[in-house]
């Protein structure tokens, strides 16, 4: 299991996320305000799947009625999906690192802007 608490840095600000739930296949870490949550999970079967998800939520003005506040949620995922045999953990790690290295600020802005 990962250490408790986990820390993520959003826009140069570190967020401390204490563990709120742990079982054999997943752990959930959440900021005390609930604004950020980190979920680490795994499943084994015909495909082995490992995932990390960072959830964020905030309260902001409703664009259709600015006098009203609305809760907004966003999530970012990384999923490693591999067969139980045929690839080593190192090969899976190398592929994940290749993707995260590609995910520069410029490339992510292009993706979010709708480029394919």
pLDDT of 3 strictly over 90: yes
pLDDT tens digits along 79-115:
999 999 999 999 999 999 999 999 999 999 999 999 9
Which of the four pLDDT bands, split at 50, 70 and 90, describes residue 1? confident
pLDDT tens digits along 49-85:
999 999 999 999 999 998 999 999 999 999 999 999 9
Q: pTM for the complete prediction?
A: 0.90
The closest of 91, 13, 97, 14 to 5, measured between CA atoms, is: 14
Three-state SS for the chain is CCCCCEEEEECCEEEEECEEEECCCEEEEECCCCCEEEEEEEECCCCEEEEEEEEEEEEEEECCEEEEEEEEEEEEEEEEEECCCCCCHHHHHHHHHHHHHHCCHHHHHHHHCCCC
């Amino acid at each position: 299991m990962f250490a408790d608490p986990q820390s993520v840095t959003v826009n140069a600000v570190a967020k401390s996320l204490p563990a709120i739930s742990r079982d054999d296949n997943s752990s959930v870490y959440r900021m005390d305000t609930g604004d950020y949550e980190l979920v680490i999970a795994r499943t084994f079967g015909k495909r082995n799947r490992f995932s990390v998800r960072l959830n964020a939520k905030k309260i902001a003005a409703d664009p259709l009625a600015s006098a009203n506040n609305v809760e907004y949620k966003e999530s970012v995922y990384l999923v490693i999906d591999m067969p139980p045999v045929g690839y080593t953990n190192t090969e899976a790690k190398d592929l994940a690192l290749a993707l995260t290295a590609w995910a520069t600020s410029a490339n992510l802005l292009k993706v979010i802007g709708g480029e394919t």
